[in-house]
Amino acid sequence: MSVLYNCLLGVLLLLLGFGQTTIHAQADCGIADAIDYPIDISDTLDQGYDDFGLFRARFGGLHTAIDIGFNRRGEPVHAVARGRVTYSDVNGWDTEKGVVIVEHVFPDGSTIYSVYGHMEQTDSIFFPVVGACVERGTILGTIGWPSRGLPHLHYELRNFLPDDGGPGYVDDNPLLDGWFHPLDFTNLWRARLDPAANGYASFVDLPTLPPLLLDTGSIALASGTSLISYQPPTTRLWEIDLQTAITGIAGLSDGRIAARTRGGQAVIMQNGRFLHVWEVDSGDASFAVFGDTLLFPTQAGGVEAFSPTGHRLWTVERLADSERLVDFQVGTSEVGLMVRGGQGSTWRVVNAQGSITAEQHFERTPIFAATVRGWVLLDGMDVLRTNSSSASSFAHTGISTGRTAQIASDVMGNIYVFAGDRDAKLLALDADGKLRWQVPYPTGLSAQAPLLDTGGGCMIYALDAEGTLSVFSALDGSLLHEIHLYAGGISNRHPRARLLQVDETESILMGSGSLSLLSLNGNIISQNARQACLPG
């Protein structure tokens, strides 16, 4: 990782860190030091069902909760965390049945209310009394049958209305008005309570690209056509609508943001104001920034370099017009492009001065990744490594890779390959190309490739499309730790917006492509793994 990135990550950990907050728990009910769901929601998660913020014409608004437990009338509903009952009424929503509200004080001092709607009592299960202390898992009632729907539980989390069932639906984004997405909130707090966690950020906008950490400590977020700025952990600073989908964002010095749109517009912004706008090649590819030089790939494998004021610095000519760009990666001081045509694919490397440092033809379309020493490529079963102006094969995996294959390299020259095959293998090769170990990936094969990073070389990190970060020992491939953030449902998932960055000190920044970022200290995850792999 670059020195600049290490500095920025240090700023993030400082700004996002958990402050020491003095807690005064009311009614001696204690601190919510763990959180669950009110019922088993495995069916909801398996189906990718997510109706938080969903507009329903029948109710004239956007849903402030998630509906879970359909057709499970009479099933007990449990308190999600330790807290105090602030509202309990079997007729709270009239024919829509009863409501219970529990107040929770979390370790950072925040007060959150969990709301359980459409509930009923039975001959043996009764609603708790107001003021009662409850523990995580305490039964509050049962799933009821509201008059306007199937039996289900209405479950919401918010920071206001302790003694009112609430509207259930609102006119705008519920996240703007004090509600929390229950799935995101629960997973984030579970992750924050992990000993390795040391900071977080939460958004009210869904990112469509990986969030960007700026040198000022603020975060830039692309959400569709909007560019949005946040001050961690939760403060929304400004939003600008660029009218066209944003395909790339990058940080410049002094908190400036560079953005590229699908319509071929390049924009430089600072503090919510336009500084410069000019036209570049259109397309869905991102771009790179080296100092004050912006490198934009063209659709046919060329590169155009500009200053932040829009002055053209140099151009690398395109390949044949029939070729199209299929991959673009940013290295330490150069960019790599993979361009596909009728006769195979061409891999091209261009440095920040506009020189083509490598160009090679392949019958297939390899995947590739930047390393501290250059580049590594995976071409079917063959692993290639750059040597001066070309890439040469130095290892053979013996595994037929799938379309979700990924490759990465650590600072010691070891290579890691996620094969993307039927068995979802993860394997490691040493710097001489010899197989070190091979293990099955714990979450199996997915339609999306995991993101890989290596930090200081003692651990390998993989973030899948479901939001699970798996940490493996670089020595033997053993699974050391897993941590999870909510990645969205079927209708609101953006795996392209995932973020995984790990520096050589094992400082981790992860985002699942949804509403939260988390920073962690990888050394706490496994001090033993780091001590075992480092010399001395």
The whole-number average pLDDT for the span 423-451 is: 92
The string of pLDDT tens digits covering residues 237-270 is 999 999 999 999 999 999 999 999 999 999 999 9
Give me the pLDDT at residue 24, please: 45
Burial 5-42 (b: 16+ CB within 10 A, else e): eeebbebbbebbeeeeeeeebeeebbbbeebebbbebe
Written as one letter, the residue type at 325 is: L
For the stretch 439-447, contacts whose Cβ atoms lie closer than 8 Å and that sit 24 or more positions apart, written own/partner, are 439/472, 439/477, 439/478, 439/479, 441/470, 442/470, 442/479, 442/482, 443/468, 443/470, 445/402, 445/404, 445/420, 445/421, 446/404, 447/404
Confidence of residue 7 (pLDDT cuts 50, 70, 90): very low
Phi and psi (nearest 5°) for 470?
-105, 130
Residues in the chain, total: 536
Q: State residue 1's pLDDT score.
A: 39
What integer pLDDT is reported at residue 9 of this predicted model? 57
Dihedrals φ, ψ of 390, to 5°?
A: -145, 170
How far is residue 249 CA from its own chain's centroid? 16
CA triple 397-402-407, angle to 5 deg: 55
- Which is nearest to 68 in space by CA: 139, 136, 116? 116
What is the model's pLDDT at position 171?
96
The rounded Cα 252 to chain-centroid distance in angstroms is: 22
> What is the per-residue pLDDT across 120-167, written as a single tens digit (0 to 9) for each?
999 999 999 999 999 999 999 999 999 999 999 999 999 999 999 999
Closest CA to 272 of 231, 233, 332: 231
What percentage of residues in the chain have a pLDDT greater than 70?
93
Write out pLDDT tens, residues 271-304. Answer: 999 999 999 987 788 899 999 899 999 888 899 9
For residue 222, pLDDT over 50 is answered with yes
Return the C-alpha torsion angle 352, 353, 355, 360, nearest 10: 0
* 18, pLDDT greater than 60: no
pTM above 0.95, yes or no: no
What is the C-alpha end-to-end distance of the chain, expressed in Å? Answer: 23
CB–CB of 414/428 below 8 Å?
A: yes
Task: Read off the tokens for 47.
Answer: 């189906």
Cα angle: 206, vertex 9, 426; to 5 degrees: 75
Domains of the chain: 23-180 (2.70.70.10)
Supply the DSSP string of 512-525, one letter for each residue.
Answer: -SSSEEEEEEHHHH
Specify the range with the lowest mean pLDDT, choosing from 13-17, 99-103, 332-336, 349-353: 13-17
